Amino acid sequence: MTDYTFAYLDEQTKRMIRRALLKAVAIPGYQVPFASREMPMPYGWGTGGVQVTAACLTPEDVLKVIDQGADDTTNAVSIRKFFQRTAGVETTEHTAEATLIQTRHRIPETPLTEAQILVYQVPIPEPLRFLEPREVETRRMHALEDYGLMHVKLYEDIARHGAIATAYAYPVKVEGRYVMDPSPIPKFDNPKLSDSPALQLFGAGREQRIYALPPYTTVVSLDFEDHPFAPTKADHACAICGADGSYLDEVIIDDAGGRMFVCSDTDFCASRRTATGEPADA
């Protein structure tokens, strides 16, 4: 591969992103500003994740890209092809074989290892943004550890709905200091953020922020003593592989209200079927 510099970005851009990544690792949960570049894909398609991945990739890496758990959707396929072309790295759909996984809004069901890095695509990195639109104010709130507004928001959920209604992008507190948006992963995935053996990196391209969770970092989902945090999923088993502990997508199958629930993690579902002797592409 000689048509592109390795992993697309020029070296000075990669150094800038790498310095931001190191500060992000040193201050877990704090959003480091970085000079996000235009990428050859639209904002909202993972430009932040792509830049973080480009800055971290080595020629020896095995890359996996998932979109809502699936390896075969447009976003995942196009990012995977992008790095095949510009970095010449090996790619895989199997979580266990990957050394670097870029994800949009899911954490794989298969437990991650110390040899892996998980890169999240983040649309709005600021957990307080919908409560306080001014950047100057939210930055000061993080500096003063003033997170009362977030608890008021969760309390209002309880007052209105009887329970905390936030189902995705559920706010977390990192090492007892910074409140962080875990990107729009379902809150089912929140427990996997804490004490993960893998390094977790978050990139928001449009908003120009990078943040990180080092391995074995304590991450607590915000809650109240009388309304403790509970991860939720659809109350079904997967209609294809029968798994009853994985996160499920609801699929409409006709126009008479018929629907089915299937694993959102396509690799997890396929490997379960392979293990039981069923054809994986059924």
Partner 1 sequence: MEALSLQGGFADPARDAARAFRAVLNALARPGVIEAVTGAQPPAPMSVAAGVVLLTLADPTTPLWLAPSHDLPALRDWIAFHTGAPLVGPQQAAFALGRWDALQPLDRFAPGTPDYPDRSATLIVDVPALEPATHRLTGPGIRDAATLRLPGDEALRLNAGRFPLGLDLFLCAGDRLAGLPRTVKAEAL
x/- letters, 93..122, toward partner 1 (CB under 8 A) = ---------------------x--------
- Say if residues 78 and 63 touch (Cβ distance below 8 Å): no
Q: How far is CA 21 from the centre of its chain?
A: 16
Residue 64 burial by CB count (10 A; 0-12/13-18/19+): exposed, middle or buried? buried
Q: How far apart are CA 59 and CA 42, in angstroms?
A: 26
- Name residue 9's amino acid: L
Residue of the chain from 16, 172, 179, 222 that contacts partner 1 (CB under 8 A): 16
Candidates 5-13, 43-51, 70-78, 224-232 — which segment interacts with partner 1 by CB under 8 A?
5-13
User: Rounded to 5 degrees, what are φ and ψ at 26?
Assistant: -75, -25
* Stretch in the footprint of partner 1 (CB under 8 A) among 156-164, 170-178, 220-228, 230-238: 170-178
CB of 216 to partner 1, least distance (A): 5
Q: Choose which of 2, 84, 126, 217 interacts with partner 1 (CB under 8 A).
A: 217
The answer to whether residue 5 forms part of the interface with partner 1 (CB under 8 A) is yes
What interhelical angle do 11-26 and 47-56 show, nearest 10? 100
Residues 6+ apart with CB under 8 A from 37: 9, 13, 51
Residue among 120 and 178 whose Cβ is closer to partner 1: 178
- The alpha helices in the chain, defined as continuous H runs, are 11-26, 47-56, 74-87, 135-143, 148-161, 190-193, 266-275
Residue among 40, 42, 44, 59 that touches partner 1 (CB under 8 A): 59
Binding-site member from 39, 50, 57, 63 for partner 1 (CB under 8 A): 57
When asked if residue 26 is in the footprint of partner 1 (CB under 8 A), the reply is yes
- Work out whether 216 is an interface residue with partner 1 (CB under 8 A): yes
**By CB under 8 A, residue 143 contacts partner 1:** yes
Rounded to whole angstroms, the Cα distance separating 155 from 163 reads 9
Catalytic residue among 49, 88, 238, 277: 238
Using DSSP bridges, classify how beta strands 172-174 and 178-180 pair: parallel, antiparallel or unpaired. antiparallel
Which residue number, 142 or 187, has a Cβ lying nearer to partner 1? 142
Which SS3 state, helix, strand or coil, does residue 54 take? helix
- 56 counts as catalytic: no
- 46, 48, 49, 269: the active-site residue: 269
Q: Segment contacting partner 1 (CB under 8 A): 119-127, 154-162, 172-180, 181-189?
A: 172-180
Does 238 bind partner 1 (CB under 8 A)? Our answer is: no
Report the amino acid identity of residue 79.
I
CA distance 124 to 168: 13
Binding region for partner 1 (CB under 8 A):
5-7, 11-12, 14-16, 18-28, 30, 32-33, 55-60, 114, 139-140, 142-144, 175, 177-178, 197, 199, 212-218
Catalytic residues: 29, 238, 241, 263, 269
